[in-house]
Amino acid sequence: MIKSVELNKTVFKKGNYPVPLTREIAFSGRSNVGKSSLLNALFGRRLAKISSTPGKTRSINFYTVNGEIYFVDLPGYGYARASMKEKEKWESLILDYFDTRKNISLMTVLMDSRHPFQAVDRQMLDWVVHYSVPFVVVLTKADKLSRNQQAITVRSVKKEIALWGSPPVLMVSAENRQGIEELLSLLL
Domains in the chain and their CATH numbers? 5-187 (3.40.50.300)
- Evaluated on CA atoms 4, 31, 110, 62, the torsion sign reads negative
Distance CA 61, CA 54 (A): 16
Distance CA 184, CA 186 (A): 5
Reference 183, options 20, 37, 19, 6; nearest CA is 37
Answer whether residue 87 shows pLDDT above 80.
no
Answer whether residue 55 shows pLDDT above 60.
no
Average pLDDT of the residues of the chain: 90
Q: Kindly report the pTM of this predicted structure.
A: 0.92
Please classify residue 57 by burial: count the beta carbons closer than 10 Å to its beta carbon, then call 0-12 exposed, 13-18 middle and 19+ buried.
buried
Place 57 in a pLDDT band, splitting at 50, 70 and 90: low
Task: Give me the count of residues in the chain.
Answer: 188
